[in-house]
Chain A
Amino acid sequence: MSIEILGSGWLTRTAYGSDKQNRNIEYASRTTLRGLGKEDGLFVYPVKNFGRFPELAQRVCYVTALALQDAGLNYSKEEKQDIGLLGTDEFGCESANLAYFQDYVDGGRSMARANLFIYTLPSSPLAEAAVHFGLQGPLFYYRNQDASVDSLIATARRMIADGQADYVMVYELDSEIDRCHVIGSVD
């Protein structure tokens, strides 16, 4: 059994695409990042509360959809799949942390906003994707000093070999380009 990258999706401020299908679609001149899902039909069914997601969680959902499509994997509301999600990025949830605590302080340190608090975990954007796409495998944030994805892919391979999941989505998220790779076995 060989475990390989089966497909990849990517997203920038101006374009999105996928590797195996060789897609490269410019969107910035006609729609916003937030409007992309609806206008380009990237999701098979609408993402619940998508407009309320922080931008990072929206980006994660986009690259998840693109990568699953590139790997030839379907998804549905009715059936969950044994697919894990492992992600790395530059600064974790730093901006969400600052936004949450600043809002709490500005409000007089008496009542915090739960809808900001739930994004103060670096794994939260991955969790939004897990909920929407029905991905019930392992889910965690993984950060080494140089944010290299190689050890993440090696971890994903071991997880598949261990029987933790059939496939693992590996995310590299940063300010220039977001990437998602589907790791799985090729018989």
Chain B
Amino acid sequence: MNKVLITDYELITPYGLGADVCWQGLLSGESALAELDRFDTSEFKSSMGGLVPGLSYHAGQSLVSQMLEKVLAGKTIPKDAKLSIATLNGEMDKIEEKVLYDRGKPHASCMTGLLRAAQQLSGLDDEGVVISSACASSTVALGVAASAIRNGDIDCAVVISCDPVTEFLYSGFSSLMALDSGASRPFDEKHNGLTIGEAAGYAVLMSETRAKEEGASNLGELVGWGMSNDANHMTGPLRDGSGLARSIRIALKVAGIEEQQIDFIAAHGTGTIYNDLMEMAAFHDIFSSPRPTYSVKGGIGHTMGAAGLVEAVLALKTFETGMVPPSVRMQIPEVSAAGWVLDQPLALEADYVLSTNAGFGGVNASLVLKKGGDQ
């Protein structure tokens, strides 16, 4: 079995361009969530969102395409890398333009178009695949790519992920009464819904052998991945957290480690009551003692299909810096999160992190990442 190393990454988030920019924003405790001005929110439960600065809406180029252009600019990704695009629903603003203005060719919003755009922007030979698993999309894509490398089927992959804030998405979550009326407060005793954010990013995965040959950096090792489904309800999670717990157990088994070895948890933490309680139930079930836990969604919002990749990349920053970020906007933890979820940055020399995500259709996905080092 080949080791799977993460050798490169980058993000664009509501804090701006750069994983470092996002990381510093989270450590500062300041939220990038703000009043939306992209579309009229007066009929919705909320008016808050996490927007990437400098994007144009309904102006000829999709939001996803603009984000990918920025995040991939000047980057060199191995041309033979296997390409995966992880997204909830791709270029949703193209659907809006079709309905509102009758703009666009037939099937312009379909994901094969996004694949072609990502291939061109990244300069890869591979035509790529789209993976969509609701809000666990990029977590699943990382697991699928890692599995192919570990089994020796490929030796290099890039997972690109992206989802925008659109009226399409906002109106839907509002109809489900899933939005916080203010900005979201994951794991806070007053948590009452999520805030939608947008982001794009990529991570390059290589076999250890290939990374050594190329002299690539070992920014972290993807050692475990687990995926499961609640098989219970289209929009609500299993309240006892057993579905998510199942994905965590599988990820730990693939990693070949015990729960005691996990040093901190990068939680999904959407801010909805159902999600946060479900997730804490899973953690209480799996772990014999509390671990430092946080959600980034009070800082950047729920970035949908991109959330897993964003959170995995940011978890690697803890290995690099020795700091665990706070769960931005959480002030007083709800009962089951007390003693787990951080309201301040924490200095921690860590070797392993668990990163979790869940989504519509009952999907759950977990990753175990190990601290990187010298080749």
Taking CB atoms and an 8 Å cut-off, the chain B residues in 145-183 that contact chain A are: 147-148, 151, 153, 167-168, 171-172, 174-176
CB of B227 closer than 8 Å to a CB of A = yes
Are B112 and A145 in contact, CB atoms less than 8 angstroms apart? Answer: yes
Q: Which residues of B contact A123 (CB under 8 A)?
A: 132-134, 360-361, 363
B234: chain A residues at CB < 8 Å are 118, 124, 127-128, 131
Which of B122-130, B212-220, B345-353 contacts its partner? B122-130
Binds B, one of A31-39, A62-70, A153-161: A153-161
A155 to B107, CA, bound (A): 27
Q: Does B258 contact A (CB under 8 A)?
A: no
For B82, the closest partner residue in chain A by CB is A151
Q: A142-B130, A143-B112 are in contact. Are A114 and B175 (CB under 8 A)?
A: yes
Given contacts A138-B227, A158-B148, contact A104 B171 (CB under 8 A): yes
Nearest CB in chain A to that of B108: its residue: A94
Complex contacts, B7 vs chain A, CB 8 Å: none
B253 at the interface (CB under 8 A from A): yes
B185-205 near A? 1/0 per residue, CB < 8 Å: 000000000000000000000
Q: Is the CB of B361 within 8 A of A124?
A: yes
Query: Does chain B have a CB within 8 A of A12?
Result: no
A140-B133, A158-B151 are known contacts. Are A109 and B171 too (CB-CB below 8 A)? yes
Q: Are B235 and A134 in contact, CB atoms less than 8 angstroms apart?
A: no
CB-based nearest B residue for A94: B110
Q: How far, in angstroms, from A162 to B188 measured CA to CA in the complex?
A: 36
Is B227 in contact with A120, judged by CB distance below 8 angstroms?
Answer: no
Closest to A110 in B: B43
Which residues of chain A are near B144, meaning CB under 8 Å?
Answer: 155, 158
Residues on B with C-beta less than 8 A from A93 are 89
Residues of A within 8 Å of B325, CB to CB, are none
Q: Are B229 and A137 in contact (CB under 8 A)?
A: yes
Q: In the complex where A97-B168, A122-B132, A143-B129 touch, is A134 in contact with B112 (Cβ < 8 A)?
A: no
Q: Which A residues lie within 8 Å of B360 (CB)?
A: 118, 121, 123-124, 127
**Within the assembled complex, what's the spacing in Å between the Cα atoms of A130 and B100?**
34
Verify if A112 is at the interface (C-beta below 8 Å from B).
yes
C-alpha gap A111/B109 in the complex (Å): 23
A149 within 8 A of B: no
Closest CB in chain A relative to B308 CB, distance in Å: 12
Given contacts A124-B360, A127-B234, A139-B363, contact A163 B254 (CB under 8 A): yes
User: Is B100 within 8 A of A136, CB to CB?
Assistant: no
Q: Does B362 lie at the interface of the complex (its beta carbon under 8 Å from any beta carbon of A)?
A: yes
CA distance A135 to B285 in the complex (A): 22
Most buried by A among B92, B172, B235: B172
- What class of interface size applies to chain A in its complex with B? 35 or more
Q: Which of B43, B99, B127, B361 contacts A144 (CB 8 A)?
A: B127
Q: Are A141 and B99 in touch, CB under 8 angstroms?
A: no
B34 within 8 A of A: no
> Which chain A residues lie closer than 8 Å to B111 at the CB level?
92, 122, 143
Task: Decide: A135 near B168, CB < 8 A? Known: A102-B99, A128-B234, A151-B129.
Answer: no
Contacts of B363 in A (CB 8 A): 123, 127, 139-140
A-chain residues with CB within 8 Å of residue B130 when the two chains form the complex: 92, 141-144
Per the bound structure, the CA–CA distance linking A110 and B174 in Å amounts to 10
Residue in B132, B172, B227, B231 whose CB lies within 8 Å of A117: B172
Q: Are B115 and A164 in contact (CB under 8 A)?
A: no
Identity of the chain B residue whose Cβ is nearest the Cβ of A154 in the assembled complex? B153
Residues of B within 8 A of A184 (CB): none
> Which positions in B face A, CB cutoff 8 Å?
40, 43, 88-90, 92, 95-96, 98-100, 107, 109-112, 115-116, 127-134, 137, 140, 144, 147-148, 151, 153, 167-168, 171-172, 174-176, 225-235, 243, 246, 250, 253-254, 360-363, 365
